[in-house]
Amino acid sequence: MKVLVACEFSGIVRDAFAAKGHDAISCDLLPSLTSGQHYRGDVRDMLSRDWDMVIAFPPCTHLASSGARWFKEKRADGRQQQGIDFFMLFANCERVAIENPIGIMSTEYRKPDQIIQPWQFGHGETKATCLWLRGLPKLKATDIVGGREARIHNMSPGPDRGLLRSITYQGIADAMASQWGNV
């Protein structure tokens, strides 16, 4: 399949699909952390191509509940609406998974089809992650583990905090590739 992994700079999901033999390309404004097919630029440049599947990780900065204390300001200056509009770019793709944390898209768009946790896929951590699916089944847990710490929430402030928090766990990427790669 031809798979677009939108808004991914890590290459983790792209590489999981490529390892299963798919023609996968990631796209982000940032360069890829790993070698592989990567388009550095605006994902809107890529959406008109003929994709069999799109896995999208739109920025959550203006959408996630963790930033609710700034919502009034973000609504007033238009940043939140820009985030909503960008998220919605992916909503009509034929086979799509849109990933975002718990936030306003549950009311602005619709409730997510599934909420997954890293501990369901071999990583002893908590990070509730919503998936809005179209043409794809819900992910099945592959390796439920204990030790459910909230490392991601305890990261120290710094310039790379948001980027580090956004990287997909390998177990989740592998589950996406193996479970959705045959749809």
Here the CATH number for the domain that contains residue 159 is: 3.40.50
- Between the alpha carbon of residue 100 and those of residues 23, 62, 75, the distances in Å are 24, 11, 19
Q: Give residue 35's domain range.
A: 2-180
Residue indicated by tokens 């710094």: 158
Residue indicated by tokens 């996406």: 176
Task: Please give the Cα distance from 122 to 81 (Å, whole number).
Answer: 35
Per residue of the chain (183 residues), give pLDDT as tens. 999 999 999 999 999 999 999 999 999 999 999 999 999 999 999 999 999 999 999 998 888 888 888 889 999 999 999 999 999 999 999 999 999 999 999 999 999 999 999 999 999 888 899 999 999 999 999 999 987 776 666 666 777 766 767 789 999 999 999 999 988
Tokens representing 142 are 């592959």
Please provide residue 173's backbone torsions phi and psi, each rounded to the nearest 5 degrees: -60, -45
> Within 13 Å of residue 62, how many CA atoms lie on the same side as its CB?
18
Burial zone of 77 (CB within 10 Å; 0-12 exposed, 13-18 middle, 19+ buried):
exposed
Angle of helix 12-19 relative to helix 170-180, nearest 10 degrees, comes to 40
**Number of compact structural domains in the chain:** 1
User: pTM of the predicted model, to two decimals?
Assistant: 0.92
